[in-house]
Amino acid sequence: MRMRALFYSPFIGLCGAIAALVGGAAAADGGVVNVYSSRHYDTDLALYDDFTKATGIKVNRLEAGADALIERIRNEGEFSPADVLITVDAGRLWRAEQVGVLSSVESATLEERLPAYMRHPDGLWFGVSKRARVIIYNKAAGAPAPLETYADLADPAHRGKICVRSSSNIYNISLLASVIANQGAEAAEEWAKNVVLNFARRPQGNDTSQISAVAAGECGISVVNSYYLARFAASDNPKMKAAFDAVGVIFPDQEGRGTHVNISGVGVTANAPNRENAIKFIEYLTDASAQRYFANGNNEYPAVAGVDASSAVERLGDFKEDNLNVAELGAQQAEAIRIFDRVGWP
């Protein structure tokens, strides 16, 4: 996996990189914070620049995939320059937790701003933005029935209609983990088995692919993250706009537990050399100004109440969300993977 190194030359070795980070503490009046991030959005850079302007703390950033970053921090051990890990999906945060690369944080600011279900019970990580996992359908074919809940995806009425990502996708793992947490493993397995029976094709592609397939009538139903839909809605590309107009959106379980949500989350590393700055950085990410970056820059839902979503996201409509503590998505991850294997969800 290729890493995008933004705070050291790719030609220097690991020891040199660590020395550059630790030695750069005087680069700004407030010191530095070293961020390992699996988020690859340009708007995050503007957010970090604003943090530096507000605090004098320079943000050094290393980008790579979540699993690669977690493994890197673990291998670096006590000598790791990383202060903060940022990644998407509670399942990946759980993986970081399991290998011991995160440390507990107590912050009155974070407890005040974030609801309990967006915080790890022991303060190991904090959700800073949200995305909803919604159902979409082809408008031209009409709204299939029944289709008001995730459970309805398993209804025989939808035989041959569902296209979806593979079971290895972390978003699907977390969705099934939420079903396990809410209904138990036996019910979750029965649900997954019947969803497989309703597949229109072998799972393939990403969420963008599913939106395009449903819009084109290649399948009738799919499950996707809300921010992908908002990208289509906000796009200047006529084909993407037409695809968005061709699909209907359902927020599942509005009469029950609410729609499953997942997060981008952040935690302080176990051996953070700049721990105080790391906590300041995370607190800044929950400030209203930073939350607007998440909303407008990547069409995510703010994690903090009272901050408006982007206009593209608001077009999707209001919804009731599942307030299951997001930590449960990680705790049920292994069981979700075993269920996917048993029911033959590729």
Whether residues 220 and 330 share a domain: the answer is yes
Q: How far apart are CA 42 and CA 32, in angstroms?
A: 20
The tokens describing 100, both together, are 């011991």
What residues have CB less than 8 Å from 201, skipping those under 6 apart?
A: 163, 218, 219
- The pLDDT value given to residue 2: 37
For the stretch 151-160, pLDDT in tens is 999 999 999 9
Whether residues 192 and 255 share a domain: the answer is yes
- Answer whether residue 112 is part of any domain: yes
Whether residues 271 and 303 share a domain: the answer is yes
For the stretch 71-121, pLDDT in tens is 999 999 999 999 999 999 999 999 999 999 999 999 999 999 999 999 999
- Residue range(s) defining the domain that contains residue 170: 131-259+321-343
Whether residues 230 and 291 share a domain: the answer is no
Whether residues 116 and 166 share a domain: the answer is no
Whether residues 335 and 186 share a domain: the answer is yes
Length of the chain: 346
CATH number reported for the structural domain that contains residue 48 in this entry: 3.40.190.10
State percent of the chain over pLDDT 90: 87
Q: Which of 236, 237, 240, 206 is nearest to 224 (CA)?
A: 206
- Answer whether residue 315 is part of any domain: no
Mean pLDDT score of the chain? 92
For the stretch 10-60, pLDDT in tens is 323 343 444 344 444 444 468 999 999 999 888 899 999 999 999 999 999
Contact between residue 268 and residue 83 where contact means Cβ atoms under 8 Å apart: yes
Our count of domains for the chain comes to 2
Whether residues 8 and 99 share a domain: the answer is yes
- Answer whether residue 245 is part of any domain: yes
Whether residues 251 and 287 share a domain: the answer is no
Helix (H, G, I), strand (E, B) or coil at 87: strand
Whether residues 171 and 102 share a domain: the answer is no
- Answer whether residue 314 is part of any domain: no
Whether residues 339 and 206 share a domain: the answer is yes
Whether residues 196 and 327 share a domain: the answer is yes
* Strands 32-37, 102-103: pairing kind: unpaired
**pTM confidence score:** 0.89
Whether residues 266 and 338 share a domain: the answer is no
- Answer whether residue 212 is part of any domain: yes
